[in-house]
Chain A
Amino acid sequence: MPDIDFLAIHGLAVRKAAGPAAVADLLGVDEEAVTAAFDALGEQGLVAGARGMFMVAPTGQAWLAEQYPVRYADARQDGALTAAYERFERVNTDLLALFTDWQTIPAGTTRVPNDHSDKEYDRGIIDRLGNLHEKAERVVGRCAESEARLSRYLARLESAYDKVLAGDLDYVSGVRIDSYHTVWFELHEDLLRMLGRTRQE
């Protein structure tokens, strides 16, 4: 199977359900290449799609599970990558704490949903996001030294962060958009699949 077909189904598995454009954006390749890959994968019964939206079929999930240890055998032995991944997990802990602080605000001895009326509080969090983004840049950069396509996540994180700075606050942790959390969450899933790790949360 050509590499692009494997990557296309892997990207689709990270996104769960998506069109070729979104998967192409995640992988940093041409949309036409992903469309062609989905056609080929569809014929083998590995992905299923309707009206431009695709999902990995159950046979595709099983096939992927067999492929990962083979395709990423080198990556799993790559000390630099696994070290970068350990660092990723630590940034992950800090980022998730930041998202929590963004969504909830101290109210006395407890926390309540943040209604974003306190600009000073929000600015403080955005400030922290800036610092963590610098850490994220380094850690994703290290991961990309082993798997070049991962640098695409960096561009997407950068784009989310820029939107936040420009005042589009949904891009911190919004769900249906490519928010900082959405992109980070996908990167996390991508790395877990590559390295064959299990999610601890």
Chain B
Amino acid sequence: MNQSRVIHLDGTQLPSRDLIGNKAWSVGRMLNLGLRVPPAFVLPISECRAYLDSSKVLDDALWADVLTGIAYLESVSGRRFGDPDSPLLVSVRSGAAVSMPGMMDTVLNLGVTDEVEAGLARRTGNPEYARDTHARFCHQYGDIVYKADLDTYAAGHTADDIRVMVLDDTDLEIPRDPFEQLRGAICAVFNSWDSARAKAYRRHWGIEDAGGTSVTVQAMVFGNLGEKSGTGVLFTRNPLSGAALPYGEWLPGGQGDDVVGGTHAVQDMVTLEKSMPDAHAELMGWSTTLEREHGEVQDIEFTIEEGRLYLLQTRTAKRSPRAAVRIAVELVDEGVITAEEAVVRVTPEQVHTVLLPRLDTADARQRPIASGEPACPGVACGIGVVDPDEAERRSTEGESIVLVRPNTSPNDVHGMIAAVAVVTDLGGSTSHAAVVTRALGRPSVVGVGDGVAASLEGKLLTVDGDGGHVYEGEMPMVETRVEDDPWLSRFAEWAAELSPMTVVTSSTELESDVFDLDLAGFGIGHEGSVIDADGLQRALAGKAAVRGSLMSTEQGMKAALDAGVTYVIARPVLPLQLLAIRIQRGL
């Protein structure tokens, strides 16, 4: 018998990333660690090449191997593809060694048909879920495989509604046979390697066209099969505070990303521990394994199906800037990473954010005069002005202005640039106003309510873009001091030791004269303005001590290091030390 051209990820081997792509590799790695993951098989990258170089049809021999792969998923899961009574549903994912725009991403729930929908309704006792799963599948298949022009999925449609919309737009019918669904999705993934966008991306980044993408086919597990099922996310440490305690959310009866019908509320890990102590203990054990293996905090997606735990995905957890510092320090204490690794795990921007002055909310006498959605973080204080032209004029005259608008149009952008903060009556955190203020870094609060902005005109305002509040008058601010925080202070010691540049807050102790780049005409100008690199190099030559806004940029710090500058004067010092360390290490 010839060797199969598809690879069963069964934990006995781990083919290289170059062969099977990142996603399949990550699934394979969890399996090799002995963790339970829904069974999967993968068509390696070489098959994409073979497919594209031939007539763009899956040849019979490969298709036979795919069917063997499905049989493998059936034997492990105990379900059958297309069987209404015990249906196997699968996901299909692309996986190039380097991910790129234009590649087809993921289609879920392949294998659902009218009969399977009816079977799922019986099995779960939840016809609404069965209908929704079928409709979502059709929407995703139409959207991703057929590129149909569909609106964002909204609950309420039936699968047949969506089939009609897809047919109207593309003249293509979504396959009703599970195996045809699978064949179509696999071909679409392969074809997407040659999509115009993917080609454009590769051209821009010098990636060869000759590569390809793998296809991972994986069994789906169900978080909605009764009381002993559900889905959740676990962070191996608290992503907000950084405390070394697992933090998670658990949705009993939930399936995938969906909060089924909104009838279930998200619960914490203690609830899971009480209801299913074994699954909980297993999850804790596995999460420790994954964190140790990756040497980094993990964000783990899991599903429990009738009491049985499955891991779906693990990745490095996103965390708050404050948590990033604490976690890096504690991983050093635990012997997982070195101090040198720790200082490059936290970016200068994260430390900058941690050290920003905060609003002193200890004074409870102050009540906000307006509240809405926080759209861009930060705190700023100024006079409320409604007219953007007036805001621009008064700001040019040196006043700090808070632009207060009913809504925002492109006609207001100059006023937003001139203002120190922005408040709007209408809109949410994804409004144009929110997008513009974030791009500008202006603290903003949106959606404070109809007519409220006008009432703020002429008042001295403090805008709290973190909490979403507006206060009257100038609110007191508190400095964050490195020495007050046990993790930050140890982190700062390491950074000071490792930094190739000595950064100090004041020049009084220095014997040399301080060269001020801003005064010499090398300041940070408007966005996009270019500093003359040669001129900068000449200006810095032979200088021992330098200050200036440009030193917080990569270009400025690099030039100073190259020129052999000994001291940089700046406050706070920590972000610049981290920047210097990263530049020295080519990060």
Contact = CB atoms under 8 A, between A and B. Distances in A.
Interface in A135-153: 135, 138
Contacts of A126: 101
The winner among A14, A90, A129, A176 for most chain B CB atoms within 10 A is A176
A19 B544 CA distance: 45
Contacts of A123: 99-101
Contact of A96 (B101, B201, B432): B432
Given A129-B101, A199-B409, A201-B426, A103 B240 contact: no
B204 A97 contact: no
A99 B430 contact: yes
A77 interface: no
Contact of B439 (A14, A127, A173): A173
A108 B319 contact: yes
What size tier do the contact residues of chain B reach? 35 or more
Given A108-B323, A175-B439, A175-B440, A165 B238 contact: no
A110 B240 contact: yes
A188 B432 contact: yes
A96 B435 contact: yes
B320 A185 contact: no
B432 A175 contact: no
Contacts of B434: 96, 100
A112 B321 contact: yes
Interface in A72-94: 87, 90, 93-94
A16 B411 contact: yes
A100 B429 contact: yes
A52 interface: no
B171 interface: no
Given A99-B430, A181-B435, A201-B431, A176 B410 contact: no
B323 A107 contact: yes
Contacts of A192: 409
B101 A167 contact: no
B528 A177 contact: yes
B320 A108 contact: yes
Nearest to B297: A108
Interface residues of A, number: 57
Contact of B201 (A110, A118, A165): A165
A7 interface: no
A130 B427 contact: no
A17 interface: yes
A36 to B, nearest CB: 24
Contacts of B235: 108
B417 A175 contact: yes
A166 interface: yes
A162 B428 CA distance: 29
B353 interface: yes
A49 B42 CA distance: 64
A158 to B, nearest CB: 11
B103 interface: yes
B572 interface: no
Interface in B222-264: 235, 238-240, 247
A53 to B, nearest CB: 11
B407 interface: yes
Contacts of B353: 112-113
A186 interface: yes
A87 B165 CA distance: 14
A118 B446 CA distance: 28
Interface in A99-126: 99-100, 103-110, 112-113, 115, 117-118, 120, 123-124, 126
Interface string A167-183: 10010011111010110
A107 B321 contact: yes
19 contacts: A16-B410, A16-B414, A96-B434, A107-B321, A108-B317, A110-B240, A113-B376, A115-B347, A115-B350, A124-B99, A127-B100, A130-B197, A165-B200, A165-B204, A174-B527, A175-B436, A179-B439, A200-B407, A201-B446
Given A103-B435, A188-B432, 20 more contacts: A100-B435, A107-B240, A108-B235, A108-B318, A108-B319, A112-B321, A112-B377, A126-B101, A127-B100, A130-B102, A165-B101, A165-B201, A165-B204, A175-B436, A176-B528, A185-B410, A185-B432, A189-B410, A199-B426, A201-B431
